Amino acid sequence: MRDYDAIVFDLDGTLADTMPAHYAAWRKVLDPMGIPFPEEVFYGFGGVPTLKILDILSARHGVAMDIRRVSEQKEDFFAEGLGAIRPIPEVLAVAEAHLGVVPMAVATGGHDRVVYRTLEALGIGGWFGAVVTVDDVTHGKPHPETFALAAQKLGVEPTRCLAYEDADPGIASAKAAGMQVIDVRLLRVR
C-alpha cells in the first residue's frame, strides 16, 4: 500500500539534467561583466532562483546591473541550449511508472518561459496535472510555497505527497510543506 496520493517532482537536476546547460548560460551572461562564477560556486547555488543569485553576485563583486534584464538574458541563453538537455533516467522512470496512476506535478524554481519548453524538449509536457514555477509564487525555495501550491493544484494534502528533489533548498521546501522527500542525488547512477 502506498503512503502517498501524489508525486511532486523538481525539474532541473531531478527530471532533467539541465545543470550543464544552465552553467553554460551563466558563463555567457557573467563573463562579459567580469564576474567569476566557478563551477563549484554554481553548484552551491542549486535550487536558488536566478534573481536571487544575481542579487548575491552583484553585491559580492560590486557590479551594478539590471538584475531582471540579466536574468532574462541568462534564460535566453539557456533556452538556446535546450537541445542538449537529457532526462535523468532513474527519475523519469519513476514518473513514467506513475503516469495515469497517481496525480503528478512539477514544482520548480525555474521560470515559465523555459520550464514548459524543457518539459516539451524531454517529451513529457503532458505528464503533469500541475506545474508550479517561480513565476507562480511569492516566495521561492526553500520556502514551502512552491511545493504547497503544487499539492493544492493537484487537490491533495501536502502530507500525502512524495517529492523528488536534488538540491538542499528544494528538499527544505518540500519538507516544510509537509511532504515526504526522496533526494535524487542518492538515486543517480554516475
Show pLDDT as tens, one digit a residue, over the chain (190 residues): 478 999 999 999 999 999 899 999 999 999 999 999 999 999 888 778 888 899 999 999 999 999 999 999 999 999 898 888 999 999 999 999 999 999 999 999 988 989 999 999 999 999 999 999 999 999 999 999 999 999 999 999 999 999 999 999 999 999 999 999 999 999 865 5
Instruction: List beta partners, residue 86.
Output: 17
Which of 174-184 are b and which e, b meaning 16 or more Cβ less than 10 Å from the residue's Cβ?
Answer: bbbbbbebbbb
pLDDT at position 188 is 66
pLDDT at position 47 is 74
Q: Which three cell numbers stand for residue 181?
A: 522527500
Query: What are the percentages of helix, strand and coil residues in the chain, rounded to 5?
Result: 50, 15, 35
pLDDT at position 35 is 96
- State in words which class domain 19-82 has: mainly alpha
pLDDT at position 1 is 40
Q: Residue for cell digits 551572461? A: 29
Q: Read off the pTM.
A: 0.87
CA–CA gap between residue 168 and residue 166 (Å, rounded) = 7
Interacting residues of 172 by C-beta distance below 8 A, sequence separation 6+: 141, 142
CA–CA gap between residue 30 and residue 34 (Å, rounded) = 6
CA–CA gap between residue 183 and residue 61 (Å, rounded) = 32
pLDDT at position 132 is 98
Catalytic one of 3, 5, 10, 55: 10
CATH of 6-18+85-186, one of 3.10.20.30, 3.90.550.10, 3.40.50.1000, 3.40.50.2000: 3.40.50.1000
Q: Residue for cell digits 508525486? A: 7
Q: Which three cell numbers stand for residue 109?
A: 524554481
- Beta strand 161-165 pairing with 6-9: parallel
Is 183 catalytic? The answer is no
CA–CA gap between residue 134 and residue 146 (Å, rounded) = 7
Structural domain boundaries in the chain? 6-18+85-186, 19-82
